[in-house]
Amino acid sequence: MKIRKSKERMLISLGGSLLVPGEIDWKFVKRFKQFIIKHIRQGYSFILVTGGGKTARKYIEAASQVSKITDDDSDWLGIHATRMNAHFIRTVFRSYAHPRINTNPHNLEDFYGVKEPILVAAGWRPGFSTDYDAVLLGKYLDVKRIINLSDIDYVCDKDPKKYADAKKIKNISWKEFRKIVGDTWQPGMSAPFDPVASKLAQAEGMEVAIMSGHNLENIKNYIAHEDFIGTVIK
């Protein structure tokens, strides 16, 4: 296939909640693959960062039943879950994806000037989230817009699972968003975007769009700068 990398390079953070909500959601991955390949044919290229999902939580819970584990231990189990998911994604994209998975967003030597239209990245080291890794990769690889896909449609002004009157937010500044999520990140936290990653994204002047991964037509609209369902933070 002839690849034209004439259009924008998009970074998509694939939340673990999409890839492994319980079991591995291969039906989602199958649809997502077709969607990405269609965009590659149009000239886009992608960085795909994979979260850990249920796999991470299952291992952390299991290890805690057997031994007293530290936060570091939990993180390493989480990191390996993100790497397993990254390898899975790299495998299903075969010839489209660079064979090496990035596991250190500060070391991109092998990734500059690659010819494949997809780079896959996973967790790096304890104390971070793949949201943070995504922002670092975006910074070094000169990405302007990050798409954060998970199983929520919008960011709300408060937790919609707890408050029935939570309001959906369409556009928000980093300053206001950071008032909602706070400053600290904990392993397994379920903020729409990691607070520490938010701080870096704000400093870098990056745009992050939060939307559901299930509506691919909607993601297409965002990529094409059209109206979409989701929250833009910038």
* Chain contacts with ligand UTP (rule: CB under 6 A): 15-17, 51-53, 56, 74-75, 78-79, 82, 123-126, 128-130, 133, 150, 187-188
Determine the residue type at 57: R
- 16 neighbors 52 (Cβ within 8 angstroms): yes
Cβ nearer to ligand UTP, comparing 78 with 195:
78
Other Cβ atoms less than 10 A from the Cβ of 80: the count is: 16
- How do strand 231-233 and strand 171-172 relate by DSSP bridges? parallel
Cβ-based nearer residue to ligand UTP, 40 or 79:
79
Q: Which of 106, 91, 181 is nearest to 140 (CA)?
A: 106
Q: Which one, 45 or 82, has the nearer CB to ligand UTP?
A: 82
**51 versus 195: smaller Cβ distance to ligand UTP:** 51
Minimum CB separation from ligand UTP for residue 130, in Å? 3
Amino acid at site 158: K
Contact 123, 52 (CB under 8 A): yes
Angle made by CA atoms 149, 117, 30, in degrees to the nearest 5: 50
Backbone angles phi, psi at 141, to 5 degrees: -100, 15
CB of 95 to ligand UTP, least distance (A): 27
Nearer to ligand UTP, 85 or 117 (CB): 85
